[in-house]
Structure 1
């Protein structure tokens, strides 16, 4: 395992743990604003649930290198699963996290595939010889 791939794995994992903690604490209302109107579940429940999932997946990816393929794959799937919410934020014109224009919300959509690829790469599922 290279220093670069290990660092990318730990960085993504730590970032997800941080994001998950903010779902449960300081940024809870901002995340609630991002839950699309069409989701048939209470906004706060969605935010709390996704925060717990982010903490678990991030911690697993960062702290369990022997399970990196599992957590990298699950995290990539999570990023795909929440992408409709990002599209919803764009379509509904919802302001949150400084995304206060259609242009900013549109640009954000292009970063989700980057996160999916990062999770797959950090998990050793694409882009290099598996170790």
Structure 2
């Protein structure tokens, strides 16, 4: 299905860019890592590498099992970074000027389930909510 291939390409570009940003300018990402996460700088570096690996896996078309594994990995990644996004919102809203505000943070948090589902759908792990093709 062409839409899935385009989705894989788009996810590959987005995650490659995000991963590169984690490696090139880690400070903003380190700043939002929750306190209970050990070694925040190392975690940010590893998440950047994971995003790049996921981008490479979901972006290729010659190994369907690798694409499926990458889709599952990117989905799990999006689930695991959700606490950092909540932490970012709490830190931002605690600032006197309220940082980026609820108009930024609430849609970002609400979109997180889509970021969990999208790689699974694009990699053909699930057909939900669309009808399975026969």
1:72 corresponding residue in structure 2: 71
Runs of 4 or more consecutive aligned structure 1 residues displaced over 6 Å after TM superposition: none
2:45 corresponding residue in structure 1: 48
CA deviation digits over 1:33-57, x for unaligned, max 9?
A: 2212232x22211110100111111
Given that residues 68 and 122 in structure 1 are in contact (C-alpha distance below 8 angstroms), is that contact kept between their aligned partners in structure 2? no
CA RMSD of aligned residues (A): 2.2
> Over alpha carbons, which structure has the higher Rg?
2
TM-score by length of 1: 0.83
2:58 corresponding residue in structure 1: 61
Q: 1:92 and 1:52 mapped to 2: Cα distance?
A: 25
Q: 1:15 and 1:112 mapped to 2: Cα distance?
A: 14
Given that residues 93 and 102 in structure 1 are in contact (C-alpha distance below 8 angstroms), is that contact kept between their aligned partners in structure 2? no
Q: Return the offset for 1:130.
A: 7.3
Match of 2:30 among 17, 29, 32: 32
Q: Return the offset for 1:6.
A: 0.3
TM-score by length of 2: 0.81
- SS of 2:76's partner is helix
CA deviation digits over 1:54-85, x for unaligned, max 9?
A: 11111111014512222111111111111111
- SS of 2:81's partner is helix
Q: 2:56 and 2:12 mapped to 1: Cα distance?
A: 6
Specify whether residues 47 and 4 from structure 1 end up closer, same or farther in structure 2 by C-alpha distance, changes over 3 A only. same
Q: Return the offset for 1:17.
A: 1.1
1:15 corresponding residue in structure 2: 14
Equivalences, count = 125
